[in-house]
Structure 1
C-alpha cells in the first residue's frame, strides 16, 4: 500500500449513475422557452423564481414541507465548489424521493481513492477490492452501501487537503452535504432494525468527520450510535460462522470504537460505554501489509491503559484523594510509557499516531497525578514533578522531527490537539523554572509551535 500523497485529480469515469442537472440553467431555459434575449430579461425560469422569490418567503403555517431551502441551496452551492471542471454537482437533490438510488460521481471516486491511500492505515476495516467494486456496480446500491460511500467521501473531504480548487471552507460545506445524504437515506428506512456492518462504519466515519468540523457533541453522538449499531448488527457474535476475514474486520472495528471513545472521554470528559477493552486479534487480513495490524495493535495497547479506574478518576469532578496504591499505579503506567516502542516496518502514518499518542498519554497520566496532589518539586520520580512536561515535550520534539509532515497531517485535528496540549503544558512548566532551564528548552517550544503552524490546515483547526 502506498503512503505517498495524492496531489492529482482522480481519473473521472463516466458512469451510468452520474447525476443529471435537476434544472436547466437560466440562460438555456429562457432562450428555449422564448427564443428571445429581450423576453429573457423580463421572465424568470423556475430555478430563478425559486431562488429569488421563494427563498426569502416564509410559510406562515410553519409547514416544513414548504421550505424553499431544499429547492435552492444544493444546486447553486455545489456548482461553485466542484473541483472538477466538467463534473456534475456534488449534490443535486438529496435523494428524498428515491433515497436508494445512488450516483457515482468523480468526487466520490476521488474520496474513496484518498481514503484508501491516506486513511486506510488508520481505519483498516474494509475490503479494498469490495470498496472499489461498489464504484463500478451497474445496479442501484442499497442504503447501507450508499451511506458508507457518502460517509467515506465526507471524511476524506474534511480530513485530507488534496482537493484541487477546494479550500477548507468549501470542503466543510461539501462534507456536511454528504452527511446530510446519509441522514436522508436513513430516514427512509428502519436502519437500526436492519443494521449492517456498513452502517456501523458509516456512523464511525460521520463521527470522525464531525470531530474534524469541531462539532464535539455531534461527533460523540454518532460515535455512540456506531457503538450501539455494532451491537444491533451482532459484530461481536461469537458464533459468527461466515468469512473469517469479515469476522476479523468486525473485531477490529469494535477495537477502534473503543480507542475512539477513550480518546473522546479524555479530550472532552465524555462518559464511556465500552467498559472493558475488547480483544484485538493480531492476524493480518488477506493481501494486507502485515505492518498494518502491528501498528494498530500498538495503538490499541496504549489506549488499553486507560482502564475503567482511570476513566472514573478523570471524569471525577469532585476532590479525589491520593493513595499509595494510586501513586504506584500511575508510576507503573509512566514506566510503561517511557519504554521505547518497536516501530520497525510500520508505516509513517501509523507511526505518527502511535508515537504522538504515547507522549500525550504521558501528559494525561501526569495531569491525573496533579489532580490527586501527587506532583511536588522534590519527588524522586520525575513523573511526579512540575518539570515532567518538559521531558515529555522534548521526547515529542524528537518524534516530530523523525516523521514526514504528511504522516502527521493524515490524522487531522486529533493529533494536532495532542501536540498543542503538550506544547501548552511545556509553556506552563517553563514559567515555573529558572531562567537557565527556560533558555535551554525555548528551542523545543519554538520547534513544536512551528511544526503546528506548518500544516496547511492547522490555522483552520486552531
Structure 2
C-alpha cells in the first residue's frame, strides 16, 4: 500500500503575466519564427541613486516605480550621489570602487530603534538562537564607525533589526511613527533588509571571514525564510555555513569564541531543517575537526539548555540521512538499523526534566520540531517498505501519523499562540506537513480507531495554522485543497 507523501515547497506561483501592453521602459521585439511580440528590456541612461545602490532595474521616469512603491518618491532623482567615477581596471581597484558605491541611508536606524530591536531580540529570539549577547551588541555599536559605510558591525546591527521587525513585531503595526521612513513594521523591515543586502554586496571578501560576516549572512537568511523566499534563504544559509568553516577560532576572543560555538549549532540546525523541507544538500558536518562541543548547561542558562536540546534533535540527521531523503542512488539500500538509530536519537533528544523549566517559546519549538522529525522518518519508512500494520512498535505502523497529530494537539494546547508565532513560517510548515500526512492516512488506510477523534485533532491543527505566520494567506488554503482532493467527506465537516 502506498500513501502520497506531501513535501514542503515554495509558495504557490502567482497569476500569469498580463497580456496587455508592456509597461513603460519595456520594448517589444517580434519573434521571427512565430511573429508574436516578445518583451525586451530597454537600458535606461541613468538609474536613480537608490536603484543603483540596490543594483536593481530602474526606469527613465522620475520618481521611478521602485522608489514610489517603497514610499520614497520624494527622494528619487536622476542625479547620481557618486559623481564621476572611473571604471576600475584591477581587482583591488574594483573592490575599492564597489565600497565607494555603497552609502548608508542617513537616519535609517535611529539609536532608540536599535535599542528597541536589541531588547526585543533578547526577549523573543535569543532564547532559541543565542548567537548574540548584550555585551557583543555594545561592541558592535562601538565598532560600527559612521565613517565606514559598509562596515560589518553596522551590517550585523541592520540585519538583526530587520529580522526583529519582520519576525517579531506585528506586520501591520507602526511602532516608530514618523521616526522612520515607513508606514508599517513590515515595510520598515523591508527597508532594513534592503540596506543589509546592499551593504553585503559591497563588503570586502577576506580569506579568513569574520564572525560578524557570518552573523550577517545568518540574519539575512532568517529574513528571507520569514518572507518565504526559499531559494534566497538557501543561498544565504549555504554561504553562511561555507564561510563558517573558514573561521579560525584562535583569532577570536573568549566571548566571540563562545558565540561562534552557539552560531555553529544554529547554522547546523537551520541548514538541516531547510534541507529536509526543500530537499537540499548540507554543508556542516559534526566531525572532530570542525565541531564545537554542545553548549554547556552547568550554569543552568535556559537559552543554552534549549539550544542543547535542539542540537541533539538534529545531530543524528547527517549527510547520509539527507542523501537518503534526497533519493540518491548510493543511499537507497540504507538498512533498517541505521534508520532506527536516527529515530532513537530524535526520541531521546529532549530531557523532559530540563524542558519543563524552559520558556514557552522554547517548548513550542522543541515539541513541534520533534514530532515533525518523527513524521519525516515515518515517510522514509513508508517509501522503503519498513511499515507493517502488525508491528508492535507504533512508529512502524501505517496509522502512526494519527498518533503524532494527537501528540501535537496535546503538546501545544497549553502554550500561548505567540510562543509559536515567533518562530515564523518554518513552524507553520511543520504543522502543515504533519496535517497533510495525517489526512493521507485517514483516506487510504483501513483503521479501527475513532475517526471522529482523529478528525477533531486535524481540525485543531488547522485552526492553529490559521493563527500562525503565512497560515491564512498560504497554508490553510493549501490544506483545505489537499483535504478536498484526498478526503472529501471530511472537508464538509471542517469548521470555517
Structure 1-normalised TM-score? 0.74
Residue 77 of structure 2 is aligned to residue 66 of structure 1: no
Task: Please give the alpha-carbon distance, in whole angstroms, between the structure 1 residues aligned to 2:352 and 2:214.
Answer: 34
With over 3 angstroms needed to count, the CA separation of the structure-2 counterparts of 1:200 and 1:455, relative to structure 1, is same
With over 3 angstroms needed to count, the CA separation of the structure-2 counterparts of 1:378 and 1:327, relative to structure 1, is farther
- Alpha-carbon shift at residue 357 of structure 1 (Å): 0.9
Residue 111 of structure 2 is aligned to residue 99 of structure 1: no
Contact 2:378 2:395 in 1 (8 A): yes
Contact 1:255 1:280 in 2 (8 A): no
Q: Tell me the secondary structure at the aligned position of residue 218 of structure 1.
A: helix
Residue 267 of structure 2 is aligned to residue 257 of structure 1: yes
With over 3 angstroms needed to count, the CA separation of the structure-2 counterparts of 1:187 and 1:424, relative to structure 1, is closer
Contact 1:108 1:153 in 2 (8 A): yes
- Alpha-carbon shift at residue 125 of structure 1 (Å): 1.2
Residue 151 of structure 2 is aligned to residue 140 of structure 1: no
Match runs of 1:361-380 below 5 Å: 361-380=373-392
With over 3 angstroms needed to count, the CA separation of the structure-2 counterparts of 1:96 and 1:170, relative to structure 1, is farther
- Please identify, of 169-178 and 246-255, the stretch whose mean Cα deviation from structure 2 is larger: 169-178
Q: Which residue of 2 aligns with 1:12?
A: none
Q: Which residue of 2 aligns with 1:440?
A: 453
Task: Please give the alpha-carbon distance, in whole angstroms, between the structure 2 residues aligned to 1:394 and 1:377.
Answer: 19
Offset from partner CA, 1:217-276 (integer Å, 9 cap, x none): 110110111122223442xx3x35x53222111111111111111111111110111132
With over 3 angstroms needed to count, the CA separation of the structure-2 counterparts of 1:441 and 1:110, relative to structure 1, is same
- Alpha-carbon shift at residue 110 of structure 1 (Å): 3.8
Residue 303 of structure 2 is aligned to residue 292 of structure 1: yes
Task: Please give the alpha-carbon distance, in whole angstroms, between the structure 1 residues aligned to 2:321 and 2:257.
Answer: 30
Offset from partner CA, 1:133-190 (integer Å, 9 cap, x none): 75688951751011111211221222123356359x9655543432332232233341
- Alpha-carbon shift at residue 426 of structure 1 (Å): 1.4
Q: Which residue of 2 aligns with 1:347?
A: 359
- Please identify, of 144-153 and 451-460, the stretch whose mean Cα deviation from structure 2 is larger: 451-460
Match runs of 1:60-459 below 5 Å: 62=43, 65-66=46-47, 70=51, 72=63, 76-79=68-71, 97=101, 99=103, 103=107, 104-105=109-110, 107-132=113-138, 139-140=145-146, 142=148, 143-162=151-170, 165=173, 171-193=185-207, 195-234=209-248, 237=249, 239-240=250-251, 242-276=252-286, 278-283=291-296, 290-318=301-329, 320-321=332-333, 323-326=335-338, 328-329=340-341, 332-333=344-345, 336=348, 340=352, 342-431=354-443, 432-434=445-447, 436-455=449-468, 457-459=470-472
With over 3 angstroms needed to count, the CA separation of the structure-2 counterparts of 1:201 and 1:460, relative to structure 1, is farther
With over 3 angstroms needed to count, the CA separation of the structure-2 counterparts of 1:159 and 1:255, relative to structure 1, is same
Q: Which residue of 1 aligns with 2:179?
A: none
Task: Please give the alpha-carbon distance, in whole angstroms, between the structure 1 residues aligned to 2:393 and 2:105.
Answer: 62
- Please identify, of 315-324 and 113-122, the stretch whose mean Cα deviation from structure 2 is larger: 315-324
Task: Please give the alpha-carbon distance, in whole angstroms, between the structure 2 residues aligned to 1:251 and 1:139.
Answer: 27
Q: Tell me the secondary structure at the aligned position of residue 332 of structure 2.
A: coil
Task: Please give the alpha-carbon distance, in whole angstroms, between the structure 1 residues aligned to 2:366 and 2:319.
Answer: 21
Task: Please give the alpha-carbon distance, in whole angstroms, between the structure 2 residues aligned to 1:197 and 1:64.
Answer: 40
Contact 1:284 1:293 in 2 (8 A): yes
Offset from partner CA, 1:64-119 (integer Å, 9 cap, x none): 743587374676555589xxxxxx99xxx999755367643255444333222211
- Alpha-carbon shift at residue 323 of structure 1 (Å): 3.6
Offset from partner CA, 1:331-374 (integer Å, 9 cap, x none): 64565369856413211111111111111111111111112111
Contact 2:174 2:185 in 1 (8 A): yes
Task: Please give the alpha-carbon distance, in whole angstroms, between the structure 1 residues aligned to 2:268 and 2:402.
Answer: 30
Q: Tell me the secondary structure at the aligned position of residue 355 of structure 2.
A: coil
Contact 2:336 2:386 in 1 (8 A): no
Structure 2-normalised TM-score? 0.69
- Alpha-carbon shift at residue 283 of structure 1 (Å): 3.4
- Alpha-carbon shift at residue 303 of structure 1 (Å): 0.4
Q: Tell me the secondary structure at the aligned position of residue 271 of structure 1.
A: coil
Q: Tell me the secondary structure at the aligned position of residue 126 of structure 1.
A: coil
Contact 2:275 2:322 in 1 (8 A): yes
Task: Please give the alpha-carbon distance, in whole angstroms, between the structure 1 residues aligned to 2:347 and 2:42.
Answer: 65
Q: Which residue of 2 aligns with 1:20?
A: none
> Structure 1 unaligned runs (5+)?
1-54, 82-87
Q: State the superposition RMSD in angstroms.
A: 3.7
